[in-house]
Amino acid sequence: MANRRIAVTGLGIVSPLGIGKQDFWKNLLSGVSGIRDITLFRAPSYQIQRGGEIKNFIPEKSDEFGRAAQFAITATKEALREAGIQASDLKRIRAGVIFGTTNGESHILEEIDRIWLESGETEVWAKTIIKYSMDSIANNVARHLGISGISRMIPTACSAGNYSIGHGYDLIRNNKIDVAIVGGADPLTRYAFAGFGRLFAMAPEKCQPFDKNRKGMMIGEGAGVLVLEELESAKKRGADIYCEIVGYGLSCDAYHMTAPSMEGITGVMETAIKNCGIEKSDVSYISAHGTGTPANDKAECQAINRVFGVLTKNIPISSIKSMLGHTMGAASAIEAASCCMAIKGNRVPPTINFDTPDPECDIDCVPNIAKDKILNTVLNNSFAFGGNNACVVMRRYEPN
């Protein structure tokens, strides 16, 4: 059964550029920035006070779930509607929920600490503590939708969304489940602001991937969800198919806790290409990890040039983090959803805030304006601290 083909039949997005796929995609192609002043918490003590905060989000059962789970549930419900799968269907098919994250519900821990310090240990409710555990995101999605099958969390930080897609792909190919709800979710937290601030990795105003004068990343929040299912099953029920997932590559280069490795990035793309049995000349777009930090962008561009050589000049390579900020564990899941829409619509989203070319980032970063291009095979890059790298390969679906 390992030769089963895997289709993407539904997408769901909660992001700083819009709640729902339609608004997200419209704003993405228009080059709208989702970076704004932070209002979720008081930020005067932080050197950076801007980020990709989601506004006007109305959660379901807000007292029962943490913010990341709320994002994940909303995105999952949209993805299932898109896929044409009802809640009742999930009770009779083998469905699994696999999510990735960086911080989990760490804002809950922040709230626990606040209550403990202000009012004492006895004022911390058990119900609050239960919301904190890392696996609560996937478990709450499954519980909310009545899914009793596989529920797993993959905490591989900034590449976790791609890891979840790869794991869902494997589970379906090996006939363990029929439908995989995969993605990533992360909330905006003081913890992330403090951590990345002390690493001096954040830009003060805007994210400028691949620009010579880039100053760093911006932190964001959100959730991205894809519904994966076996292709023949999707065709039989008349599902609208975005594209196929044709495989992925993983690597753990173990080079440095925070610094990127050009060799590791090269390796994960080479592995993905080999695993999927595609030619390098097949690749028509790369969704870059593109954080906007000097080291990451340089290493990624060098790796792409090493892998693709002279082909690089004909491959558009954009970073949507320029608009969203870095949504942590949700990043590569949201970017994968963007890739699906790019393939379906033959549109490449831009890298905004690009002013000055950098000789060390010698690529077509689709500066500032979206590009029309027929896309057949797409790579979605993601790289995390510790060298946990993942590259997912997507391909246009051509009906027989």
* CB 19 within 8 Å of CB 54: yes
The residue behind tokens 């519980």 is: 143
Asked if residues 6 and 169 have their Cβ atoms less than 8 Å apart, the reply is yes
Residue listed under structure tokens 């280069």: 253
* Three-state secondary structure call for residue 326: strand
Is 218 within 8 Å of 35 (Cβ atoms)? Answer: yes
Distance (Å, whole) CA 277 – CA 13: 30
Pairing of strands 283-287, 179-186: unpaired
Active site residue 326: yes
144 is catalytic: no
Between the CA of residue 318 and those of 17, 138, 291, 353, 389, what are the distances in Å? 17, 30, 11, 12, 18
204 C-beta neighbours (distance < 10 Å), count: 11
Q: Is 207 a catalytic residue?
A: no
Per-residue tokens: 132: 């904190």
Of 85, 398, 12, nearest to 233 by C-alpha is: 85
Tokens 């029962």 found at: 64
Catalytic residue among 158, 207, 339, 361: 158
The active-site residue, picked from 276, 326, 340, 365, is 326
For residues 245 and 347, is the Cβ–Cβ distance under 8 A? no
| Bridge pairing between strands 179-186 and 95-100 | parallel
Contact 106, 191 (CB under 8 A): yes
Phi and psi, residue 116, nearest 5°: -60, -45
Residue 384's DSSP bridge partners are 388
Q: Which helix (H) or strand (E) holds 372?
A: strand 371-372
Catalytic residue among 243, 289, 301, 365: 289
Tell me phi and psi for residue 122, to 5 degrees: -70, -15
Half-sphere exposure of 241 (CA within 13 A, CB side): 22
**Partners of residue 6 on adjacent β-strands:** 230, 245
* Structure token pair of residue 350: 């831009």
Nearest Cα residue to 166 out of 339, 10, 394, 392: 392
What is the set of active-site residues? Answer: 158, 289, 326
